[in-house]
A and B are shown apart, each in its own frame.
Chain A
């Protein structure tokens, strides 16, 4: 689609894109302001709010918990999600058609409802440890990425290649690992990245699943903001944005950023 653009449209769009990016630079400015309150434009320049993050141990411990949960939750989701995606594509006729809808439920059910229900039924009901429930909650949250993104890759995979390997005597598991998996690696990487970033940023599920001594970084940030209105949060936000930059660099290097518009 290509036709001439009215200047008013181009100007409006430019303003929209500037407004999308500007607030993130404002955070950067507020993070280095030499004041005890949040302000922009920054007054003076200091790095003390960055060093302050490391003096508050809660930020360190919750950041570690967040990374652990995001990594293992994503890993678990892929571990069980890839076989499910494989089964849904490979044995479509032998599985009921509603099964693929089951894996959409974590997107359909509001996150905050899932978090609340998990707290009620699992943390309290089943008396599972807080960390375990948090991990399972996050694995559920990102399971749709594993099933659907990997599933999209499998949909364009020619299963006769795998059958050729098996009929030539290759054991099924080895055929999957050496024939199928290399062909869907782009989908697996995409699923991993989307799942990881979703888990790291999650608030609504973690909200109910934190317990004594265990919390995630976004929840800690919210808690800190309720008591203090100093630039520490701005500097934590800057670090999180650096993480986003890193993730985008990985996406660009492995898949190209345009894959996100598909």
Chain B
């Protein structure tokens, strides 16, 4: 009897923690959006009827998409070079990617506050070359949020892709080259398809990470560039509109899960290594 139950006894405490402190609370947040006194879909109608909240949703999608595209391109270039480097240079590059990754979001977003601020390095530089005559405000713009987010996610992309690109056997590349493929054809027809699953995993991490971020839009976007994360906080803790906050939370959960499920399917289908 004990022997039959032992798997459950071992996995029990961790499962219980997830059930009681994640599934039930998050479930109750989601259910709250359907049991509103004004009707079951009223909170969603309220969300989409508000031009402001709709703008926030579109802005969040837009910023997350741009961040993902830029991060994928930059991350791919950097990881591609990392994969070709001799061991010593490679480890220096890996350190340069890991260090920011292990440094907190707050610290890394804060760095861009110094970079883009009124007394920041960018303003100082532009002033000294006479490009501008007085400091311009670069903070609280969409560009500031995107720059900081790309900075946040490129290391993640590099580390995800470096492993994948290193795993591509060099015989495959050599075979293609010796058969007369141009470097671009090798990239288009050999490297890219083999890296695609890793690329998709990385892109999903970046998109969902940007879509649900709080600290970066709060610091660099402020009220002017409100995103879903900052909207959720503002609804919950400033206006105490818990139903409104729950609706934002539910939209975040649905978008995140949808993206993860669809893209993992796509990654599996595109994986040339799998059956």
Contact = CB atoms under 8 A, between A and B. Distances in A.
Interface in A83-134: 83-84, 86-88, 90-91, 94-95, 99, 102-103, 105-106, 108-114, 116-122, 125
Contacts of A81: 14
Given A24-B103, A261-B94, A83 B29 contact: no
B102 A222 contact: no
A80 interface: yes
A231 to B, nearest CB: 9
A248 B102 contact: yes
Interface string B160-175: 0011011111100110
A83 B25 contact: no
A203 B212 contact: no
A106 B18 contact: yes
Q: Max chain B CB contacts within 10 Å: which of A37, A121, A262?
A: A121
A12 interface: yes
Interface string A1-17: 11101100110110011
Contact of B18 (A37, A140, A240, A245): A140
Interface string A129-169: 00000001101100100110000000000000000000000
Contacts of B245: 116
B28 interface: yes
A18 B115 CA distance: 15
A26 B115 contact: yes
B113 A38 contact: yes
B253 interface: yes
Q: Max chain A CB contacts within 10 Å: which of B24, B121, B211?
A: B121
Given A1-B83, A201-B106, A114 B22 contact: yes
A104 B161 CA distance: 21
Interface in B196-226: 208, 211-215, 218-219
Contact of B26 (A117, A147, A241): A117
B173 A39 contact: no
B151 interface: yes
Chain B contact residues (Cβ within 8 angstroms of A): what range? 35 or more
Given A87-B7, A207-B233, A260-B98, A117 B29 contact: yes
A111 B103 contact: no
A213 interface: no
B97 interface: yes
B103 A244 contact: yes
A1 B169 contact: yes
Interface stretch (B44-52, B74-82, B267-275): B74-82
A125 to B, nearest CB: 8
Closest 3 CB pairs of A and B: A201-B104, A23-B111, A13-B81
24 contacts: A1-B167, A3-B170, A16-B74, A20-B97, A23-B111, A26-B121, A38-B117, A80-B13, A83-B13, A84-B10, A95-B11, A109-B253, A111-B212, A112-B212, A112-B233, A117-B25, A139-B17, A203-B214, A204-B214, A222-B218, A240-B104, A244-B102, A257-B95, A261-B166
Interface of B: 4, 6-8, 10-11, 13-15, 17-19, 21-26, 28-29, 74, 77-78, 80-84, 91, 93-100, 102-108, 110-115, 117, 119-121, 124, 151, 154-155, 159, 162-163, 165-170, 173-174, 177, 183, 186, 191, 208, 211-215, 218-219, 229, 232-233, 236-237, 242, 245-246, 249, 252-253, 256-257, 260
